[in-house]
DNA sequence: GGGCAATTTCTAGAATCGTCGAAATAGGCT
DNA sequence: AGCCTATTTCGACGATTCTAGAAATTGCCC
């Protein structure tokens, strides 16, 4: 996980519509949801949904699987795990021990 | 923590320049860094830095404290903690137990 | 009060984003 | 083959973003 990847994943989640999409997929669990169901639930234009979905798939936060005519979308938990780890680690959130890693901060 | 707040914080971090700024501040530890030092480290225009910094401060990920003429910037760990908790919780990252919260997913 | 150093605001321009409706495509069923 | 449903692509539009240089501001010090 490099900083550019992290930034692009964060950017993908940093939009209310997309975060809602992602959250909805997470709550749908392993079964996932077809694009059409998502559209009904969220009440947005199909083209808009497709646009956002592509972005989420592009940064690997969501994966898709074809089932006949419908396209099932699923939240990609391991990617989110990686992102959270990056945030907690590289940009460590625990107030203790952060400065320990950076020598120049030991002033 | 509501979804809009989370999205705005994620958006703030979802830009390579700003994520770099934030990471630099985290690594600087409790002492923080003055804007000028940040500018030197990152080699960007002062106005650009100020612009990004305002965004980070605006979503409460960074706080500032005046010390004479210089302005010290510090990463706000508790905000990051809140964000990570939101991601891990509301948009739970652990692949186990996610579907348990959503009744309609129990199909 | 004059000057200096640190930071922000103003102005601007290219680029990207978010959204939608309409049209196009994909894939299976009869 | 023809149709129907699901989804994506196209074209467009206003809004926002990112960046930087120049000018303005703030706050201290002599």
* pLDDT at site A41: 95
Q: Is A33 helix (H, G, I), strand (E, B) or coil?
A: strand
Greatest alpha-carbon pair distance for chain A in Å reads 62
Mean pLDDT value across chain A: 86
User: Which nucleotide has the shortest C1'-to-CA distance from B46?
Assistant: C7
Q: Which of B51, B3, B18, B29 is nearest to A26 (CA)?
A: B3
Q: In sequence order, what are the residues at sequence separation of 6 or more whose Cβ sits closer than 8 angstroms to the Cβ of residue B93?
A: A77, A80, A81, A84, B87
Q: Where does the pLDDT of residue B94 fall: very low under 50, low under 70, confident under 90, or very high at 90 and above?
A: low
**pLDDT score of A107 more than 50:** no
A46 CA to C23 C1' distance (Å)? 13
Lowest-confidence range among A61-65, B68-72, B88-92?
Answer: B88-92
Mean pLDDT value across chain B: 86
A6, A19, A83: best mutation site toward chain B, by most B Cβ within 10 Å? A19
* pLDDT at site B36: 95
Q: Where does the pLDDT of residue B69 fall: very low under 50, low under 70, confident under 90, or very high at 90 and above?
A: confident
User: Which nucleotide has the shortest C1'-to-CA distance from B50?
Assistant: C8
Inter-chain CB proximity B77 and A99 less than 8 Å? no
Q: Where does the pLDDT of residue A92 fall: very low under 50, low under 70, confident under 90, or very high at 90 and above?
A: low
């Amino acid at each position: 996980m490099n900083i550019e990847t992290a930034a692009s994943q964060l950017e993908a989640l940093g939009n209310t519509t997309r975060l809602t999409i992602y959250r909805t997929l997470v709550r749908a669990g392993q079964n996932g949801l077809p694009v059409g169901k998502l559209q009904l639930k969220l009440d947005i234009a199909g083209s808009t949904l497709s646009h956002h979905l592509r972005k989420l798939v592009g940064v690997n936060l969501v994966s898709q699987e074809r089932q006949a005519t419908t396209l099932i979308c699923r939240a990609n938990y391991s990617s989110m795990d990686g992102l959270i780890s990056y945030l907690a680690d590289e940009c460590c959130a625990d107030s203790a021990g952060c400065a320990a890693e950076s020598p120049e901060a030991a002033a």
